Structure 1
Amino acid sequence: MLSVNMYSLWKDDTSNIIKGIGEATNNIVNYRHSLNVTEKRFCELIEDVQAVCDFWTGNTSVGVPKETAEKEAFQKFFSELMQLLLEMKKSGTIFERRIAANMLYTGKVYRYLGNKFQPEKIVKPSYDNIYVSWSKHPQNDYIESKLGGNITWLSCEITAPRYGIDLEAIKSSRGNEAEVVFPTIKECVTEIRYISEENDEQD
């Protein structure tokens, strides 16, 4: 159990956000290396994971970058979570295999890029191995309305041995976004469109 209540934090409470994410990450690492795995401990860990993922979905603003320290904390969390899920995929324990099967995602995902503060700026994709939010749905009118101006739309195909982290599996996806967390990897991107209010330009 986390000492920080992630559900009570404001998105500018950086020190407590990082503390909570760090505790959840450490709990993942400790669980991975533990010889004493019980279903009760597993359920407690999933609650911690869900709390961090709920904060991620509830406090990530489209077109607004995160603070560097917070972004780094999330990256470590998602990296360790992915390692755990890959290990659970081969587990001899049914409850571990089940959550891995549900959360490890392959298939098409889509992402919008933009700059809320400089809507005229064209944002190019960054192939930096950083975990970011994607959606299983190709269009999201809400996100388009929030960004306005110039929008970059990406299509991506995730295939094994790569996997995304499906947040719908733990009910952490917001609204109808059907969110999957996955890095922007050049070899996986199948299409890029640059869209403006005046015209659509396909790359």
Structure 2
Amino acid sequence: MHIDQEVSQEAKKLIEASILVAEEPINIGFLKKLFAGQFEHNHIQQWLQELQQDWQGRGVELVEVATGWRFQTKAEVQDKINAVNPEKPPKYSRAVMETLAIIAYRQPVTRGDIEEIRGVAVASNVIRTLEARGWVEVLGHREVPGKPALYGTTKQFLDDLNIHSLSDLPPLMDLQENPNEVALTLSLEDAVDSELKIQLDEANLNDITLSSEAT
């Protein structure tokens, strides 16, 4: 279906405005409903890509994350904003960050799996902290006596990492070779809705074995 230039421009304006005012990422399914099914998936995808180009060179960029599309401040600009922001990012314990790393790379895993990899017991508040932040959820239960919960990461975790899927995580080999250099940056929201950052290198992945033999 051919769409003339004027219609395309009006459609892009509506898409742009919808994403700008949205509190959460907007997916193509929502945008199709916005146009009452008038345009196909490929048309909307093309307009999103054109909007990405339109916003290049500015302090804000249009990006696709796990749950859809959103506008966000570019990293180099956000760093300068954070420099004058007196708020400190939340600090998570080493146990929390190690547990998150294990779940991210070895999911689905049980609490017992995590304890076997870390070599120490996992406190209940560690899992609760990750669940409360929206990064981890129960995906199911393992069919063994006791049916322990199987944990995995959420789409919110991917969104906060600013990645589209788990395949976009840094290769595990890189983390093992450069445990003190590779950081997974999570965008966090504080009480005033500013984006803050925390790095997984606090977990010191050199001290834990993310072995493919873990069960």
Please give the TM-score of this superposition, normalised by the length of structure 2. 0.28
Say which one has the larger Rg: 2
TM-score normalised by length of structure 1: 0.29
- Of Structure 1 and Structure 2, which has the larger fraction of its residues in strand? 1
